[in-house]
Structure 1
Amino acid sequence: MAAARDSGGQSEPRLTFLMDSSSPGKAILIVEDNPDIRDTFRTLFELEGFDVQLAANGEDALASLARSDEAPCLILLDLSMPVMDGWEFLDVLRSREQGAEIPVTVLSANVDANVSRDLRTRYGCRVLPKPASVDTLLDVVRSYQHAGPGPTLH
């Protein structure tokens, strides 16, 4: 993983990825701590032709993004996870230039109107209640598939 030095001399992980022009808009990152849900989503979206990356928590998701050659067209994110929850992940992702433009859809069972509004206004996230129907999930993912290239770093 690439690192940048901050003013205190500490190494700070940095997201570095380039778009792969062979299948633009076909990568999805699923950040979900429940392995059954992760596997179900992977199967569903792979059958639709998407390249699916999986992460069990926010820390794993940041590492996956740093290793990736392609920015995902969408991140599907759970909020309640161990190690690094969805809120902390969003704070880190949105603080990075290359992460600010990646669309995020939050899937959570515990989101009320205030939390949903905060996710939309503070992070630019779309919010879906869990469980979401297969048709709804596919509609959301397809809507981001051809939204244009993701962030690129050199």
Structure 2
Amino acid sequence: MAEITCPECGTTTELLAVRRAADEFCRQCDYPLFWAPSSVPITTPGGNSAATLRRLPGAGGRRRVGSRICPSCGELNSLSETHCTRCDADLAPAPLPPPPPAPEPEPEPVAYVPLEPAPVAPWWTWWLLGGALAATVIVPIIYENLN
């Protein structure tokens, strides 16, 4: 057992270990003695059970081995907790879904180039072609008849 002197009123109290129990307040001024600086062990030796504190009051507190830090508020939680004791956030949130794949770029439109119509031969070329064809057929016949 160790003696702790109350910083408020100076009363000395004997404590075996600091456990944040009702007997750890000053009997004179009701000051929380677990906040007072002392050499008293935080818990009973070898007492790393579920009954032990996971943190002391204050900004940083003291970590117990195997505590889980809340991803939302930073509170220290025991390993058996599934939700934060301070903000009730999930201590093992589901991973974020992967971002959707980037959309494929649209193919560039193909420019439509209208084909120029084939030039139409003038009307007299048909007569000329017909005349040449007739001459190649008729001239040999006439030539044979003359001989």
TM-score range relative to shorter protein: under 0.3
TM-score, with normalisation over the residues of structure 1? 0.20
Higher strand share: 1
TM-score, with normalisation over the residues of structure 2? 0.21
In our comparison, the structure showing a higher alpha carbon Rg is: 2
**Structure having greater relative contact order (Cα 8 Å, sep ≥ 6):** 1
